[in-house]
Structure 1
């Protein structure tokens, strides 16, 4: 488990671009000078690979961990000094010893993070047998601690920058969402007002502002007690629906109100609870929609339907009498060989006149209805 945690910590530093870091390059140069070695490097070891992050005097980016000198330090957590690699069976057959760059001396100290995990090594090397005195060993350890501090500082800085960018993105996302919501809020033709639990105005759209200014000749402002802008006849209904919304229930109301210069307006009101992030009701979303045009159209349809009922009634009752008389007279005329007495013709004339009166009455009724509809259209 500790090795898994150690490798996870190493992975964090592998993402850093340490090769070009001036401070770490200076530490490597100082180590090379103090230890009198042409080669110095900082490396990290994950589960399979030794990664050379900063180096001087050697041009190697990585090596397999199983043949790495530093792997012995990872396992022991101690400083490792090999004065002559050809005399040490652990590394005598190493490719870097037998081949280029023909390493004959190696010294390394562990890179230990604040959690006590060995993430890699701070090493020096030479192509000749060599050794370090106590002062040089102490300085190599100090340089290793300084390198680890710089690396952790850079990791923290990167994490802070990443968090800042994420926070900025989240902030921008919220701003964009608020802009879209506000755009929708303001573009609505309906009146929208957000009220707190006491009935004071938290927010409103332009339709609500313009309505209050036109009807009440005042400016709607945040903090206003909204009930002061309601018609007296609607206050009780408003309070009932408002309290239902505070209890978490949606509700609905409709009615007709005379707004003076605006005339009579049919409206539909919706009350919905406003919730916070922890699912608590903190206010009420109130919206009002002008449905006058729809109501007038509905009334027109009802009037037309009533006209049709009236016509059907006339057709089924009042037409029937004259038509029956006419049909009876025609049968009598046929029986007389189409040479009826004058009395038959007079009766036929009376029936025809009655039928004509009924037809004229219907025409007048229909014309009056059309005139009324045209007048309603002009008024609204």
Structure 2
């Protein structure tokens, strides 16, 4: 889609005007991207028709760039993932001022931030002063993190809409359905008596399937949740009603599987600043959690491989090298005992190599 498509620019404006509450989590994404991909610079950006806005950053102080000076202008128009191993060797960037002057970028990798309705509004990108490539797991992780960033932004946008409509909705029987059905997140507006003021179809479907309860306006959370889950919810609800937002990730186990949710409970205020209820929003992050576990398992295997390479391979290799020196001094002749030592060292080396092969499969 062209960078100046009006629908895309409208989507960008939604997020440019958004005051994100979960700034710490967004900054963590930037720090994690730089750390896992071993680059000094990482950014979350939004790109409109003329300007790239750097909303969260590490290793760079620039807050805005003209579109023609950016790398992500090509990402927006062409790719979900754009990797430039060496910007000096790429005719699109060889004369870019970011390349020729500070910060003298050589390596760039960026992943599009694509909204639920298909618009690329910006990027999660990493940069460095040394040319390099990204391994496939790093590319995959960058894509997963970009999806998570969009989930956070869209949830924050949803919350801002609900907050703006809360008082208005209270005066009109809480007619929020048009908004509530617009995103894939579970939404509920809950009143001062823990009654459900409004909910979307995602909430009704999930609660109907897993709690066997038919949702309707006015039903209380005590009627929806079993005793164990109700106790936890009451603690979170009371904290939110006291003015403290609650954010957490939780695994919900079902009969045959489980689902991970990113949950936000935030207080809702009336025009006089009084808390009159809460907004409950939950996003399915099971895919993210599965990927995190895969990455942890892979890192554990890599650590085992590193241990074998740095410790367990040394002994048989040292033995073989020592024996070869001995054979060399003996004009490449050997007795039975030396050959048996060589055999044991070779078998031990073979066992260690097989262990490494097994860990990489």
The TM-score with structure 1 as length reference comes to 0.47
Structure having the higher Rg = 1
TM-score with structure 2 setting the length: 0.49
* More helix per residue: 1
